[in-house]
Amino acid sequence: MDVFANLATGFGAAGTLQNLWFALVGCVLGTLIGVLPGIGPIPTIAILLPITYGLDPLSSLVMLAGIYYGAQYGGSTTSILVNMPGEASSIVTCIDGHQMAKQGRAGAALAVAALGSFFAGCVGTIFICAFAPPLAALAQQFNSPDYFSLMVLGLITAVVLAHGSVIKAIAMIVIGLLFGLVGTDVNSGATRYTFGVSVLWDGLDFLPMVIGMFGVVEIIRNLEQPDLHRSAIAARFRDLWPSMKDFHESWRSVLRGTGLGALLGILPGGGVVLASFAAYTVEKKLAKDPSRFGKGAIEGVAGPESANNAAAQTSFIPLLTLGLPSNAIMALMMGAMMIQGIQPGSAVMTSRPDLFWGLVASMWIGNLMLVVINLPMIGIWVKLLSLPYRFLYPAILLFCVIGVYSTNNNSVLMVFTAGFAVFGYILVRLGCEPAPMVLGFILGPLMEENLRRSLVLSRGDPMIFIQRPISAVLLALSVGVVALIVLPVLRKTREEAFQE
Amino acid sequence: MFRVKSPQDFGSAIVFLLIGLAGLYFGKDLTYGTASRMGPGYFPYLLSWLIIAIGVGVGFMSLTIEGPPIERPQLRPIFFVLVSVVVFGYLMSYVGLAITGVVMTLIAAFARRNFNLLESVALGIGLSIGCVLIFVYGLGQPLPAWWGE
């Protein structure tokens, strides 16, 4: 079997001392930010990007990926013990997880969340092995028009599956695309929207944008809230073993959550948040006695926690095979790859098999590390939870600015960061979700290039997007997705799903 | 008469229109080209018009569909957090990370109402030492730790 040979390559690449170390760093950092409310994986990955410039590509990807899926583990701890989601993907875990903790079953909830996540992570990795090679093979037949249509489909699906207003999210994507064009046009050499500022000639650096719009805005918004008194319910390692009854009640939920999460993770815009919400809804619908939900049903922890971790793994599939980031985190990973001189897409698997399979193998290793980090070390994380926000936010802010500043030691970047923070704050106040903008920003130049090449091929005839079969199918799917959202019945289910 | 039913959407429409118009205005010197030979201005124009169109659409929506109000922003956290970010960039090139870190922490601490000088100074010094050790000496980032570097 090819897969086994490939996996052997992967484990060889990921198993070096250096890569194991960076996987561990990523997983610990991910757990840390997952546990701490007020900082999520997006600004954390952005802050660490400059540090990865000096690493080799595999080490940096292994670490950044570890942060992303590590945060899914850590997020559940805060949800269960404090009734406050450490991450957006753990919001639903609060509902039943915290009730379990109040009833003295915190240990069982934490253990089921971690073991369910571990199982889901392993299955997610297998999913990548199974689906990535055929998708990459398909992608090699793609031509410029097909890529353009693929990006249209990806962006539209991302918007429809994300929460909030669809039309505003589309506007955010288009604004992101426009911002992505700042800098020197590769074809004509003309500078666009640079206003004579020389740092803009190479394009708008995405660190000030991401850190300003996500890191800094998040801090400001947290400071606007009155001080919350967080009281964590104590949990010790020796209480952690779930009973046979807990196992019996939750294993089906873990399976369902894993399957659902793995599928939703592949979809553009799907990602971890949607996966956890969908899994909770499914568990509630399938339960013999739905009234137990909200009062400490173990299925309500097992399902969503497995789903978000499965989705965290499989959301790498579109990026690694099609070069299409499915959410803002993947857009950052794509940025990290491009900085290292690797163009994400179908070619990665053939030209850098060690990179692709190494990353896949590292995810499995990372998931194993995370169980160890989360279960026996639970006491440390609980202690961290009692750290008040007034000590936390100056530290987060300092890390944010050091991250931006260290890209090229230019104080203009700090002004950009502040500017994007203002912009991001206005957007949030106006009910516009800024995450789609990052997707547009990363894809802007690629979309323009593929549009240009397509229209050169067709001598300016836009019909080429319908005449080519692959492109036509992708565009038809895009129209279908838009139609779905316009249909009232489906819109209603979507609203219900997000309201829970 | 017109009545804004959804202030959030109305505000978004204004932001979208401004960005779209800025895209057209500041891109007015870029060559448009033709479809078969796209100039540097082709795609930006396309996007700018798309943003304007969405802005108009959202604007109409805001006059017809009821929506949530815009929450009143609190200026104190916004002001001090942003000032601390800009001051950080300015100070770094003069005095290095160790001192800048303390100053920044102090400014950021003002973003909360119950400012405690002693606590903030202690936190600032602690964070500064930590950051210099981690970023400059540990990770070897090309950051000046002290002045004159």
Q: Are residues B55 and B79 in the same domain?
A: no
Q: Are residues B54 and B20 in the same domain?
A: yes
Mean pLDDT over A469-479 rounds to 90
Least confident of A71-75, A172-176, A240-244, A385-389: A240-244
In a domain? residue B101? yes
What is the total count of domains within chain B? 2
Q: Are residues B53 and B90 in the same domain?
A: no
Q: How far A189 CA sits from the closest chain B CA (Å)? A: 8
In a domain? residue B1? no
In a domain? residue B54? yes
Q: Are residues B47 and B22 in the same domain?
A: yes
Phi-psi region of A56 (alpha: psi -120 to 50; beta: other; left: phi over 0): beta
Mean pLDDT over A449-462 rounds to 88
Q: Are residues B83 and B127 in the same domain?
A: yes
Q: Are residues B51 and B96 in the same domain?
A: no
Which tens digit of pLDDT belongs to each residue from A353-378?
888 899 989 999 999 999 888 888 88
Rg (CA), chain A: 22
Pick the more confident residue, B3 or A213: A213
Q: How far A339 CA sits from the closest chain B CA (Å)? A: 17
Question: Of the residues B64, B94, B111, which one is the last residue of a structural domain?
Answer: B64
Q: What is the mean pLDDT of chain A?
A: 85
- CA–CA distance from B72 to each of A261, A434, B30 (Å)? 38, 19, 40
Flag if B104 and A452 touch (Cβ within 8 Å).
Answer: no
Q: Are residues B81 and B130 in the same domain?
A: yes
Query: What pLDDT is recorded for position A436?
Result: 86
Which percentage of chain A shows pLDDT scores above 90?
18
Highest mean pLDDT among A116-130, A186-200, A275-289: A116-130
How confident is residue A494, by pLDDT bands cut at 50, 70 and 90? Answer: low
Q: Are residues B132 and B88 in the same domain?
A: yes
Which tens digit of pLDDT belongs to each residue from B24-51?
999 888 888 888 888 888 899 999 999 9
How confident is residue A496, by pLDDT bands cut at 50, 70 and 90? Answer: low
In a domain? residue B144? no
Asked if residue A426 has pLDDT above 80, the reply is: yes
Query: What pLDDT is recorded for position A22?
Result: 92
Interface of A with B in 165-194 (CB under 8 A): 165, 167-168, 170-171, 174-175, 177-178, 181, 185, 187-188, 190, 192-193
Domain of residue B38, residue span: 7-64
Mean pLDDT over A26-36 rounds to 88
Asked if residue A301 has pLDDT above 70, the reply is: yes
How confident is residue B78, by pLDDT bands cut at 50, 70 and 90? Answer: very high
Flag if A174 and B109 touch (Cβ within 8 Å).
Answer: no
In a domain? residue B147? no
Query: What pLDDT is recorded for position A6?
Result: 82
Which of B84, B77, B65, B88 has the alpha carbon at shortest distance from B143? B88
In a domain? residue B125? yes
How confident is residue A74, by pLDDT bands cut at 50, 70 and 90? Answer: confident
Least confident of A59-63, A228-232, A294-298: A228-232
User: Residue A184 pairs with which residues in a beta bridge?
Assistant: A191
Which residues have CB under 8 Å from B85's CB, separation 6+?
A216, A397, A400, A401, A414, A417, A418, A421
Mean pLDDT over A98-104 rounds to 86
Q: Are residues B42 and B94 in the same domain?
A: no
DSSP H or E stretch at residue A72: helix A57-82
Interface of A with B in 376-415 (CB under 8 A): 390-391, 393-395, 397-402, 405-406, 409-415
In a domain? residue B97? yes
How confident is residue B11, by pLDDT bands cut at 50, 70 and 90? Answer: very high
How confident is residue A19, by pLDDT bands cut at 50, 70 and 90? Answer: very high
Query: What pLDDT is recorded for position A207?
Result: 85
Pick the more confident residue, A9 or A237: A9
Asked if residue A87 has pLDDT above 80, the reply is: no
Nearest-angstrom CA–CA distance, B109 and B84? 9
Q: Do A171 and A156 contact (CB within 8 A), yes or no?
A: no
Determine the residue type at A483. Answer: A
Mean pLDDT over A297-312 rounds to 90
Q: Are residues B58 and B84 in the same domain?
A: no
Query: What pLDDT is recorded for position A444?
Result: 86
Q: Are residues B79 and B124 in the same domain?
A: yes
Q: How far A439 CA sits from the closest chain B CA (Å)? A: 15
Mean pLDDT over A68-88 rounds to 83
Interface of A with B in 45-64 (CB under 8 A): 50-51, 54
Which of A398, A177, A384, A95 has the alpha carbon at shortest distance from B87? A398
Query: What pLDDT is recorded for position A500?
Result: 46
In a domain? residue B149? no
Write down the residue that tokens 């057209």 correspond to: B24
Asked if residue A92 has pLDDT above 50, the reply is: yes
Flag if A178 and B19 touch (Cβ within 8 Å).
Answer: yes
Q: Are residues B46 and B90 in the same domain?
A: no
